[in-house]
Amino acid sequence: MFRPKDFVETAEQLIFAVVADGLEAGRILCFLRYAMLDGAWRKVDSDTANAHLAAHYPQYLHYSARLDARLHAVPETAVIRHFHPRHSLQGLLEVEPSDQVLADLHSLCTLFRRRGLDMDQFGVTGSLQVGMQKHSSDIDLVCYDREIFHRARNVVQCLIAEDYCQVLDDADWLEAYRRRACDFALDEYIWHELRKYNKAMINGRKFDLTLLAPMLESETREYRKLGAIELQARISDDFHAFDYPAVFSIDHPQADSIVCYTATYCGQAQTGEVVAVAGLLEVDDTGRRRVVVGSNREALGEYIKVLR
């Protein structure tokens, strides 16, 4: 089973991040993240990834009918290595850390364990999962159990209060803000992030927590894009606010929900709050409409903002 946050490698020395559950016509929906360029592994941005595949491996460029989006896809038969976040984390924790990033990962997981979190329900994704970490790399943890994920958020809050972990400082927030290309002011971004407790610093290194709960039935439907939309709506249900993708039910005549595929706006709003949202309006074959935020990796011009 292929799930978001997994990585897959092909014989052409390409490593793709999986972005959707399961297969579509025998292909894994994904996006190229690392490629062997000029004899060295390099992390690639969206434009470089698309250009590299178009020039050398066009067979991996794909239009997804399920998502009504252009992305990348790898036939299951082309995978030579499948990186599972859970397996990767357990493997890294079983050996002595060989660099400071791994040492900080061990320290964080030890703090979590001491506070009763079952680390068998966690995995590690990103650069650590594929052995591409640098001295400045973040730690990206994924949790597969909803209750444990929210307990972990509470643990992070406690660790900050006890100074085992720290909130991001001004420079860290600015770096995160620039990386996310958020479509509103820095102070608004920080206000939204501070109340999530899904990221903090340990030993000067940022870590993130992501929830990967079982796939929702709505994600198996096919959607058709209707165009860009901006609206304001009240959140009626935030139960799936931290899922991937995050889902916020809303009270609005034009759409039933907001679905977010970018971590920037995961957990962004709570039940009862009014948000301004910009994204793409989609409709499925039953007529249900949703606003998608994060229709591309950078989510340029798309956002969810609580109106305070």
The model's pLDDT over 134-147, given as tens digits with 9 standing for 90+, comes to 999 999 999 999 99
Handedness of CA 29, 22, 285, 265 (dihedral sign): negative
Q: Residue 297: which pLDDT band, with cuts at 50, 70 and 90?
A: low
The helix (run of H) or strand (run of E) holding residue 46 is helix 46-56
Q: Residue 212: which pLDDT band, with cuts at 50, 70 and 90?
A: very high
| Each residue's pLDDT tens digit, 266-296 | 999 999 999 999 999 999 989 999 999 986 6
**pLDDT higher than 90, residue 301:** no
**pLDDT higher than 80, residue 300:** no
**pLDDT higher than 90, residue 152:** yes
In this prediction, residues 177-205 reach a mean pLDDT of 92
Q: Residue 22: which pLDDT band, with cuts at 50, 70 and 90?
A: confident
In this prediction, residues 186-215 reach a mean pLDDT of 94
**pLDDT higher than 60, residue 213:** yes
26: left (phi over 0), alpha (psi -120 to 50) or beta: left
Q: How much is the mean pLDDT over the chain? A: 93
Token pair 């935020």 in the structure block, residue: 293
Cis peptide, bond prior to residue 214, ω within 30 of zero: no
- Contact between 202 and 229 (Cβ < 8 Å): no
Q: Residue 217: which pLDDT band, with cuts at 50, 70 and 90?
A: low
* pLDDT > 70 in the chain, percent: 97
How many other C-beta atoms can be found within 10 angstroms of the C-beta atom of residue 299? 24
Q: Residue 181: which pLDDT band, with cuts at 50, 70 and 90?
A: confident
Helix boundaries (H) for 85-200: 85-93, 100-114, 146-161, 170-180, 186-194
In this prediction, residues 250-265 reach a mean pLDDT of 94
Distances (CA, A) of 211 to 5, 12, 70, 281: 10, 31, 25, 25
Residue 266 CA, chain-centre distance (Å), reads 8
pTM: 0.91
**pLDDT higher than 70, residue 228:** yes
- Contact between 206 and 200 (Cβ < 8 Å): yes
pLDDT value, residue 220: 66
Q: Nearest to residue 223, comparing CAs of 183, 305, 266, 279?
A: 279
In this prediction, residues 79-106 reach a mean pLDDT of 96
pLDDT value, residue 117: 97
- Contact between 269 and 306 (Cβ < 8 Å): yes
